[in-house]
Amino acid sequence: NRYRRIADRAAELYSPIVHLAAFAAFLGWMAFNGDLHNAVTVAIAVLIITCPCALGLAVPMVQVVAARRLFDAGIMVKDGSALERLAEIDSVVFDKTGTLTLGAPQLLDPGDIAPETLAQAAALAAHSRHPYSQAITRAGAGLAPMPAFTAIGELPGFGVEAMLGTDRCRLGRADWALSDATKTGGTVLSRNGVEMARFVFADSLRAGAHRAVAALHDAGLAVEIVSGDTSAAVTAVADELHVRAGSGGILPGGKAERIAALQAQGHKTLMVGDGLNDAPALMAAHVSMAPSSAADVGRSAADFVFLHDDLAAVPLALAVARDAGRLVRQNFALSALYNAIALPIAVAGYVNPFLAAIAMSLSSIVVVLNALRLGWGGYRFHRRPAPRQTATARP
């Protein structure tokens, strides 16, 4: 936390400087009139009036108020320094499935898939928390008999693999599940590298997705989508949200590499993602955010977690963070101005210890009141009316 380090460093320097000033005032008044009582009184007044309480409250008070404002809006802050980092961002990277969309896709035309094939896919999908796997599981509920798979395992970013007797079955990315390298894109079920079924899904955009992306553009941020879904599906969502940059078919490591590439270009990036596949990118980003519906590892990796379905949480958190940074700088300025005025007056002998204590307390109150101004005017994203949700089909 840069602001906290500045405050701590200032506090370290503050003590010796204040004690030297008090000692100099004592020596000066002793040399001036030789009155020991007056010299001691002035020195004590200098020590009291320059107590760094206001400086010590400048950062944490704003952070506490900002965290409360965000919590009232359904956003949890896991790290106080994340507010400062969020205020510094110049770009935002979104995952698609479960982040820009609700992550509750529906399998299209399950009747076109043979029941025994759908049952196999559902049995494999039951071992994954990916939204598409859950859609297949729902579509295959009640189908019997369920196959007896063995050696079942999930490879994040690729899919689920298992053995059915001596056959190797895979459910996931086509370029991983199929032996034919030319067949890429989409979600497929394969046996020994041969396609058995291909699955098509439809999902809905999260509430507030259009407003959130528009607000981020208005704030001067570059927005892009990086997803493991097909390029066609990512392009469809990007076009609908008016996002210029969108990349599909990206593996979990590729998302983190994209974040690293942006950082190498000097960008400070906010990553918004929800899944196990997004955890590396969430940890690599300058600051990160996840919905409460995210996988456990995604919530653990994120600096912010929003507790509702509305993506308005992203521009709202950004607005609060920027306002918090502005108020911290104001508090530093108020603390410096107070001491610049109070110290000469105390050294000149115009303040007794009682008045010095009142002035010191008032300076702390001013800093606290300034911090409490955060969000008094409200934010346009604090209320979350749900706009019409739009379905986006995955080819």
Catalytic residue, candidates 35, 95, 203, 309: 95
* Euclidean distance between CA atoms 22 and 349, whole angstroms: 11
Q: Are 128 and 97 a contacting pair, CB within 8 Å?
A: no
Residue 363 dihedral angles phi and psi, to the nearest 5°:
-65, -40
The C-alpha R_g of the chain, in whole angstroms, comes to 29
Dist CA 41 CA 49 (whole Å): 12
CB 307 within 8 A of CB 76: yes
95 is known as an active-site residue: yes
- Whole-angstrom distance, CA of residue 364 vs CA of residue 333: 13
Burial of 340 (C-beta count, 10 Å sphere; 0-12/13-18/19+)? exposed
How many Cβ atoms are within 10 Å of 154's Cβ, its own excluded?
19
Could you tell me the CA-to-CA distances from 215 to 92, 222, 322 in Å, in that order?
A: 12, 11, 14
What number of other Cβ atoms are within 10 A of residue 198's Cβ? 15
Are 163 and 355 in contact by the 8 Å Cβ rule? The answer is no
Concatenated DSSP letters of 245-279: EEE-S--HHHHHHHHHHHHHTT--EEEE--SGGGH
Contact 329, 354 (CB under 8 A): no
Helix (H), strand (E), coil (C) string for 88-112: CCCEEEECHHHHHECCCCEECCHHH
Query: Is residue 306 within 8 Å of 75, Cβ to Cβ?
Result: yes
CB-based contact 83:76 (threshold 8 Å): no
Q: Which residues are the active-site residues?
A: 95
